[in-house]
Structure 1
Amino acid sequence: MGGLSCALWAGLIPRPPSCQGCVQNAAVYFTLVAGGKAETYVCCQGCPSLQSDSILPSLALGLKLAVPAPVGRGKCPTCGFRWADFDRVHRFGCPTCYEAHAPQALATLARIQPGLEHQGRRPLASAPDRQAKLTRARDLLKSALNEEDYETAAALRDQIAELEAGRPEARPGI
């Protein structure tokens, strides 16, 4: 690790505060003094709570600003775990967190793993494995021909040809 990242982890360099409405870095800071109490609020520039019309009347009347959490960005009702905590530690606090943070979790998974099938390289099938697939495909071909299911038989014929040619892209579904 570099010197800067070590200093961040050690807590020597303070991290910028997060928006009270979402998990982005805060860009707008304001302090509300009402009744002898000073309360500081931080928001990001794009936060919907900052852009709504309810902030200016709240500030003018000296009322406590209620920054509503955007949908799905609140705390888990069971353990109080926030999505910002997940971003930091990369695990949830309890089983209910999966339901409480479902929109963000699904979006993150879709970004990290775009499909349901592996897209990378695959190892070549071993000879006994290939032989077992050939035997199974031939048996299925015979039963398809006996039942006069010619479409399935044609597909199986093509799979057998691929397996006999030794191509690694033979479909594993047989």
Structure 2
Amino acid sequence: MMCQECQERPATLHFTKIVNGEKTEFHLCEVCAQERGEMFPGGMNNFSIHHLLSGLLNNAEPNVNTFKVQQEAPLRCDTCGLTYSQFSKSGRFGCSNCYKAFGEKLDPLFRRVHGNTHHSGKVPERSGGTIKLKKEVSELKEEMRNRIEREEFEEAAKIRDRIRELEQQIADL
């Protein structure tokens, strides 16, 4: 797609502006976008996923009482010493342990961004039937082991029967 402004260069910036309920789409090259002032502050090269994440972190808890936050000890990673406030500004962890150290604060962020706090995966439609059934069987086997350890044998037997049904369905496919 060519730039709507100059019709000379390919459009590299595509965005939608909504002003007073009126939607307008723009397809501009970088030069024309800079001339019109439609670029991100500081230019496109300064925008990154870290800036986006940082913005989300800063708004993660809008109703937090700032006086209360100042009185609490800052949340800090034991391994690298990074504080949560430093992480929220940069959007980057200092080490692999930061994920565990800031875990309680990250769950609301993940829930807002991804809609959930754990990855459930994505299965292709064509081969999805068998894969989904095998995954369910594996989860049920784990649940059955847990029930047996807790000596809930009646529930374990029901799960065993369900596993047999699913394994028969897999064999029939």
Tell me the TM-score normalized by structure 1.
0.34
Richer in helix (by share):
2
Tell me the TM-score normalized by structure 2.
0.34
Q: Which has the higher Rg, Structure 1 or Structure 2?
A: 1
